[in-house]
Amino acid sequence: MGNKQTIFTAQQLDSYQDCTYFTRKEILRLFDRYRDLAPQLVPLDYTCQPDVKLPYELIGSMPELKDNPFRQRIAEVFSDDGEGNMTLDDFLDMFSVMSEMAPRDLKAYYAFKIYDFNNDDFLCKSDLEKTLNKLTRNELTEDEVRMVCEKVIDESDLDNDGRLSLEDFQTMIVRAPDFLSTFHIRI
Amino acid sequence: MARNVAFDLNHPHMEAGLESPIDEEGVHDSFSQLIAEQSQNGGASDSDAFELQELQRQLDEEERDNVAFLSGPGREFQGRRQRDAEWEDADTQAVPLIGERWSSATLKILSSMPSRTIGRNRGAIISQYYNRTMQLRRRRQSRPAIRDFSHSARPSIRGYGIETDSADAEVSKRDRLVNNLQNLSVSDRIRMLRAMPLNVSEKSELRSLALQKEKHTLSRRIPCCSQLKYYIINGARQGWYSWLSFLHSLHLWQVPLKRVSGRFGSGVLSYFLFLKTLLFFNVFLFLVTGAFMVLPQELHPPEPSAGRPSFTGLELLTGAGYFSDTVMYYGYYCNYTLRKSCRDDGGVHNVSLSNGTMPDCVSKHLSYNMPLAYFFTIGVSSFLTCIILVYSMSKSFGQSFRIDKSHSILAIKTFCSWDFKVIKKSSVKLMSENICTQFKELLAEVSHKQVKNTRCQRLWRLMVHGLAWAICVASTTACVLAIFYCSSYMHKNLQFFLRSGVPVTNPQLNEASLLALPVLVSLINLLLPGLFNLAAWMEDYESPSVRTYVSIGRNLMLKVSVLGVLCYHWLGRVAADPTTIGLKCWETFVGQELYRFLLMDFIFTILDTLFGEFLWRLFSEKVLKRRRKPVFDIARNVLELIYGQTLAWLGVLFTPVLPAVQILKLLLLFYIKMSSVMMNCQAPRKPYRVSQMTTVFITLLCFPSFLGASVCVTYTMWSITPSSSCGPFRELKTMFQAGKRWVEELEKDNPNLSVLARAHSYLVENPFFLFVGAGIFLIVIYFHSQVVDGQRKIIGLLQEQIENEGDDKKFLITRLQTIHEQKRTPARRLASQNSNC
């Protein structure tokens, strides 16, 4: 079973195994999932490290992400070019961080990036408003959204600059034991 | 820190004032380097110092900056300080920070401070991980022995071997990180690599660089005994990882679990994961008992007793009849040492004398002391199960224990409530609606202060609670008394029949009547939780978590009392005087009872699934015309699982095959519950705290369930006389004596081992040793709690230190700002004077 595959070299598989939270079998299974999105674009031979990027539309059509309101942000955060077009490395990275074995700090780092819509390394009020609207599908009134954003910043902003930095976010996540089980995609 | 630094704003190299002074090296090593790196690299946000100069030049002409209101920028390193304390501190500050307007230059400097940039760019991440790997190396590295160094070596070199690294100042941070990675052990390196928030290609590069370097450097001279230790530890770790990966690769039920989580989320999933955990416990137990008890006895069956009843279908339900004299029950097991005879007719047909006299032609090699094996298997498997349970309970507790401050409710709700596992469209929609409702409720709670209940209302609520509790306790007591009287009635009935000598007309009917008690107990377990739910509905709790805990408490009370009365009936009545009801082998009878209880529990669970979920859904859809399906009650179902597992653990002593029955039951239950949930139920509307509930359930599995079962089993083994005509412990005073007898035999065979025998008799039988052992255990726990207390004090001191550093920063920044202002105002005055003239 182990040596019959010809997609990756042994070193590549070892390297993937050491850098992600997946075992060999899971990496091969994920490769199959990646290839199933676009069989004509993805070659069967990755030993020469081809430069293949799947466009965001294909990634966003995966059943695990299709109905997730944050799918675009997830793809953007994990893709190299920031547009959501993912190589196989990005794909593996994404599912490795979202797997159940990833530690809390790693997940918190990426969750912060996902919720940071304007990519300024801070969760400002507009980021929070966008997050809330995506969570509730725009069902909260503007007043309610504004109140919630104010209270959230009030609660978590430790250095009082009106926005949440990564440290504030991580300090808050430490107090939420459910974060590990909700920030998890099964693949 | 209390230096008088002159802020020379006209100095062309403003960054000189920003550099960390050298005396900060020890603590802020990475920061000074990071600043140097940033000022060298000049990244996108790094040219602040340059910009500051530019701004300065423009400041003479421009108006005062219109910057956003910013209060107290010096409060970066607050740590875990309460917000109230922060505001209080600000008031007591001599320097007024509130209301201060900071210039954009100050803001830029503040935002590029090293502590703020940790998450931002690759350089910062690599710096951070360089520090972490350095700390890890320091922790892991043991001091090399003095004799490994020459006499002339400086004392400082004898310290950590890390100083022998090349201290080349021009080596970049990345190379240093690679060097650190290379010097870590394999598992530490993998753990560090995986946890780095970089993308996979960069991590692969770091890894390949680290491995390349490893090939080039020669390994250090390690003495042979620590090399051996290294190999052993490495081998054990590899073995453990490969076992874990094997378990993980089994992918048991991966697809159904994904479907359930995709549709219902983490709450319902936790029930199925708990079921999977119980399955693994039972598989482990069955492997151990099967290998050491069932298999040897099957290979050497004792002579069959006369009058064995034929197989009728009723045995599958009652466990009696044809199954009585099989390897299923305690009574079948031999009490002698099994030896392989020379003849090939399979099995030993010698007389069953207690000390196992040997016939002539018997090979000495393959002998198996059955009573000892039985005793030790039960003991060791209980001990291992206990360790595994306590370990998983403490791990789960560590993950989920948080001091529940009500401070961050909304923030946690915003960022941690979206369950990424849910992928079905309708469930996603439902989840959004739930979250929206929860937000509205939270906002209402937070904005409107709690209306204080009047005294009358409080009294009314107290009365309602009291009434509900009275109902629950009364119904529990009534049911427990019913079980007690029913069991004593049946007991007396059997005694009566035996004494009166009435011939047994219909043995099958008699056997079927044994099912009455299990049916009664299962009925009670089915109906009473419904009553508790009604009481809770009447009480109308505000907080859903309080409601869940109260419901769990009441159900637990019911099950503990039921099991208690049943244990009294079996161990107190039946075992005390088995001959009065005509039992030759009371252990087999108790084993059969447990089998019946387990089976009835399973049948009633299926019935409940059928009626409670399937038929109720049909009823509510067709008759009541409601769109809402019934909700899957996670807590109640998990408690049912725990109850079944308690019965299984109680029964292992009497029925070594019971774990196999439990495995079959759990497998069937998984598929039945899975299909029922998918067809009939909807996701719970109330928020469900998964990790807290999982911890509670595994604690319940450990404490009342396993502890109770092991206490009963220990009591049986220690105090109750085994039957004299069946089982591996016949003709012994207690089961415990099997061990003692074995030691006596050892002593007889080999007088040199008399020391061991005497030690054994002192250690095991003398209660003094138990007291001493318990005392030592308590002392160790006390020391550990003192260590934890000391660490807590250190945390307090460190927090104070962080606050002081924050105050220092505030001071420096305000001074910087005031000097900046002073510089500007005379310049403005000059400019206005010039313009006036």
- What are the pLDDT digits (tens) for B159-198? 444 444 544 544 678 888 888 888 888 888 888 889 988 8
* Kind plus residue range of the DSSP H or E element containing B341: strand B337-341
Q: Which pLDDT value is given to residue B497?
A: 78
* For residue B82, pLDDT beyond 60: no
Percent of chain A at pLDDT above 90?
55
Q: Which pLDDT value is given to residue A102?
A: 92
Query: Do A10-98 and A107-182 have matching folds?
Result: yes
Q: Residue ranges per domain, chain A?
A: 10-98, 107-182
* Res. B521 pLDDT band, cuts 50 70 90: very high
Compute the distance between CA of residue B56 and CA of residue B68 in angstroms, rounded to an integer.
Answer: 19
Q: Which residue from B660, B707, B667 is spatially nearest to B282, judged by alpha carbons?
A: B660
Mean pLDDT of A133-143: 91
Compute the distance between CA of residue B216 and CA of residue B161 in angstroms, rounded to an integer.
Answer: 19
pLDDT tens per residue, range B754-801 = 777 777 777 777 788 888 889 999 999 999 999 989 988 888 888 788
Percent of chain B at pLDDT above 90?
23
Q: Which pLDDT value is given to residue B747?
A: 80
Compute the distance between CA of residue B372 and CA of residue B737 in angstroms, rounded to an integer.
Answer: 10
* For residue B43, pLDDT beyond 60: no
* Res. B116 pLDDT band, cuts 50 70 90: low
Q: Which pLDDT value is given to residue B145?
A: 56
Amino acid (one-letter) located at B370: M
Q: Which pLDDT value is given to residue B629?
A: 77
Q: Which segment of B49-53, B150-154, B540-544, B738-742 scores lowest on mean pLDDT?
A: B49-53
Look-up: residue for tokens 């047909």? Answer: B349
Q: Which pLDDT value is given to residue A6?
A: 85
Which member of A137, A155, A178 has the closest CB to residue B432? A137
Q: Which residue from B450, B448, B444, B451 is spatially nearest to B410, judged by alpha carbons?
A: B444
Q: Shortest Cα distance from B83 to chain A (angstroms)?
A: 8
Mean pLDDT of A166-171: 86
pLDDT tens per residue, range B546-601 = 888 999 999 999 999 999 999 999 988 888 888 887 788 888 889 989 999 999 99
Which member of A103, A112, A139 has the closest CB to residue B119? A112
How far is residue B399 from each of residues A103, A180, B690, B693, measured CA to CA in Å? Answer: 11, 9, 11, 12
* Res. B621 pLDDT band, cuts 50 70 90: confident
Q: Which segment of A158-167, B91-100, B397-406 scores lowest on mean pLDDT?
A: B91-100
Compute the distance between CA of residue A183 and CA of residue A112 in angstroms, rounded to an integer.
Answer: 12
Q: Which pLDDT value is given to residue A107?
A: 94
* For residue B77, pLDDT beyond 70: no
Q: Which two tokens stand for residue B739?
A: 């061990």
- Asked if B416 lies within 8 A of A183 by C-beta distance, the reply is yes
Q: Is the ipTM of this complex over 0.90?
A: yes
* For residue B45, pLDDT beyond 50: no
Q: Which pLDDT value is given to residue B559?
A: 94
pLDDT tens per residue, range B638-650 = 999 999 999 999 9
Which member of A121, A161, A182 has the closest CB to residue B416? A182
Q: Which pLDDT value is given to residue B151?
A: 60
Q: Which residue from B184, B178, B52 is spatially nearest to B109, judged by alpha carbons?
A: B52
* For residue B703, pLDDT beyond 60: yes
As a whole number of Å, the end-to-end CA separation of chain A is 21
* Res. B111 pLDDT band, cuts 50 70 90: low
Q: Which pLDDT value is given to residue B88?
A: 39
Mean pLDDT of B83-107: 46
DSSP assignment of B20-44: PPGGGHHHHHHHHHHHHHHHHH--T
Which member of A103, A128, A175 has the closest CB to residue B414? A128
* CATH superfamily of the domain spanning A107-182: EF-hand (1.10.238.10)
* For residue B242, pLDDT beyond 90: no
Compute the distance between CA of residue A132 and CA of residue B101 in angstroms, rounded to an integer.
Answer: 31
CA angle centred on B453, ends B451 and B458, rounded to 5°: 155
DSSP assignment of chain A: --S---SS-HHHHHHHHHHSS--HHHHHHHHHHHHHH-TTTS-S--TT-----B-HHHHHTSTTTTT-TTHHHHHHHHSSSSSS-B-HHHHHHHHHHTSTTS-HHHHHHHHHHHH-TT-SSSB-HHHHHHHHHHHHTT-S-HHHHHHHHHHHHHHH-SS-SSSB-HHHHHHHHHT-TTHHHHS----
Q: Residue B660: CA atoms inside 13 Å, Cβ hemisphere, count?
A: 12
Q: Which segment of A125-134, B377-386, B727-736 scores lowest on mean pLDDT?
A: B727-736
- Give pTM, 2 decimals: 0.77
Mean pLDDT of B450-470: 86
For chain B, positions 91-110, list CB contacts with chain A under 8 A: 110
Q: Shortest Cα distance from B678 to chain A (angstroms)?
A: 18
- Asked if B414 lies within 8 A of A185 by C-beta distance, the reply is no
Compute the distance between CA of residue B744 and CA of residue B757 in angstroms, rounded to an integer.
Answer: 7
Residue B368 backbone dihedrals phi, psi, to 5 degrees? -140, 110
Q: Which pLDDT value is given to residue B216?
A: 66
Q: Which pLDDT value is given to residue B163?
A: 44
- Asked if B208 lies within 8 A of A111 by C-beta distance, the reply is no
Asked if A90 has any chain B CB less than 8 Å from its own CB, the reply is yes
Mean pLDDT of chain A: 89
CA angle centred on B247, ends B244 and B248, rounded to 5°: 85
* For residue A143, pLDDT beyond 50: yes
Q: Which residue of B has its CA nearest to A138?
A: B436
For chain B, positions 303-332, list CB contacts with chain A under 8 A: none
Mean pLDDT of B475-500: 89
* For residue B26, pLDDT beyond 60: no
Q: Which pLDDT value is given to residue B352?
A: 39
Mean pLDDT of B725-753: 81
Q: How is domain A10-98 classified at the CATH fold level?
A: Recoverin; domain 1 (1.10.238)
* For residue B119, pLDDT beyond 70: no
Cβ atoms of B5 and B20 within 8 Å: the answer is no
For chain A, positions 155-174, list CB contacts with chain B under 8 A: 155-156, 158-162, 165-167, 169, 171-174
Q: Which segment of A90-94, B226-230, B651-655 scores lowest on mean pLDDT?
A: B226-230
Count of C-beta atoms within a 10 Å radius of residue B69: 10
